[in-house]
Structure 1
């Protein structure tokens, strides 16, 4: 009886010190949870829920965890630190994206009747042209782990700066070359771009929120582990 109690007590302590949930969430070498590097960063991982251009949770997104390569997260920490000096910070919409999620986008594009998100996210675009126009890709830089979608918020209120179009709005207005915006909107985009480029990221011309680390560690490798 005493031996049984000892073994039970040992198992309870072992479980408490090495929770199974933590073991199941180990990331591949070179990847980190962004909040382990930037604890206070805001995260609104849209593909975990319904507020995205498809209108449904995306395959491969199990929990709203922002994941990036270690190099990308450390560079992003420098951006955050610089913005914090002016009472601003970053909000992440998406980081690493599994290839299964990209495949979900591809399959969705083949169904002309599935247009749940059209009114909000692509009102002026034909769904079947979204790939051709470069808004969606069958191979995404996000799956390499060093691409991030993000915006700027005010630290005290958490309110997003006005960028002229919302995240994932698929249309001409979201591009960096679009100039029919207010002076404030143009300035806000410039603030984000300047801070990101200063710390080693490059912009994507069609999306003001989309940046990729110049020296990404996995330039030719696409990952498919789940976001959790």
Structure 2
């Protein structure tokens, strides 16, 4: 008969090996965000059809959130501070492979492909999304230290009102847009203030988009899949 202690030993060796295999999928310096912030809320629309293209995005094989370890550790500090006030973070997108960016570029070149226009860019002509700064052929997300996110109330998991939804491509999503309610402006300021406090900088056209100031791979654009 195999002794229980021996069975337990084999079990823990199996778990450790499985965990190591999972981490080996990622380049050095990258982590799965939920390994460090386990209670983080995640909603990754690029893994499905509910996004501005209206189809799953190339390179997103599984609904995983990946960032550099440095960015994740900074984000954990943001989460900890928000938790003190019954708030937390929800991530919409983190690391984004270059294949996904290429998918965006290809989509932008096809004027008749407008599945998501009514919901995500009703006032914009998709031919000018590059010129207006909503899409780029190189994305900070591919460097691994840029994240799209919002604030939620912990008890209800409900997003606070930011005045426009994630990935709404229009003037209303910019930080300089002021035709919002006092509460919406306050909510955006809350997110911006806490993100900047822990070393992130905002992107002017998107209230949800933040990049770590001292990102470790500032000149490298990765293309490993999200899985």
Shift of 1:156: 0.4
Q: For each residue in 1:168-210, what CA deviation from the matched residue of structure 2 results, as whole angstroms up to 9, or x when unmatched?
A: 0000000000000000000000000000000000000000000
Aligned ranges 1:75-224 → 2 under 5 Å = 75-224=74-223
Shift of 1:16: 4.5
Q: For each residue in 1:45-70, what CA deviation from the matched residue of structure 2 results, as whole angstroms up to 9, or x when unmatched?
A: 11001111001000000011010000
Structure 1 CA distance for aligned equivalents of residues 51 and 29 of structure 2 = 28
Go from structure 1 to structure 2 and tell me whether the alpha carbon gap of 1:113 and 1:185 turns closer, same or farther (over 3 Å shift): same
Corresponding residue number in structure 1 for 2:62? 63
Q: For each residue in 1:130-185, what CA deviation from the matched residue of structure 2 results, as whole angstroms up to 9, or x when unmatched?
A: 01100010000000000000000000000000000000000000000000000000
Partner of 1:93, secondary structure, is strand
User: C-alpha root-mean-square deviation of aligned residues, in Å?
Assistant: 1.8
Q: For each residue in 1:100-136, what CA deviation from the matched residue of structure 2 results, as whole angstroms up to 9, or x when unmatched?
A: 0000000001111110000000000001100110001
Partner of 1:148, secondary structure, is strand
Shift of 1:26: 1.8
Equivalent residues of 2:42, 2:90 under 8 A apart: yes
Structure 2 unaligned residues grouped into runs of 5+: 1-9
Structure 1 CA distance for aligned equivalents of residues 26 and 164 of structure 2 = 33
Structure 2 CA distance for aligned equivalents of residues 152 and 139 of structure 1 = 27
1:43 equivalent to 2:72? Answer no
Structure 1 CA distance for aligned equivalents of residues 154 and 132 of structure 2 = 35
Go from structure 1 to structure 2 and tell me whether the alpha carbon gap of 1:197 and 1:24 turns closer, same or farther (over 3 Å shift): closer
Corresponding residue pairs, total: 217
| TM-score normalised to structure 1 length | 0.91
Structure 2 CA distance for aligned equivalents of residues 25 and 52 of structure 1 = 30
Structure 1 unaligned residues grouped into runs of 5+: 1-11
Structure 1 CA distance for aligned equivalents of residues 188 and 48 of structure 2 = 26
Structure 2 CA distance for aligned equivalents of residues 89 and 165 of structure 1 = 19
Structure 2 CA distance for aligned equivalents of residues 209 and 24 of structure 1 = 28
Corresponding residue number in structure 2 for 1:5? none
Structure 1 CA distance for aligned equivalents of residues 69 and 99 of structure 2 = 22
Structure 2 CA distance for aligned equivalents of residues 128 and 24 of structure 1 = 40
Corresponding residue number in structure 2 for 1:8? none
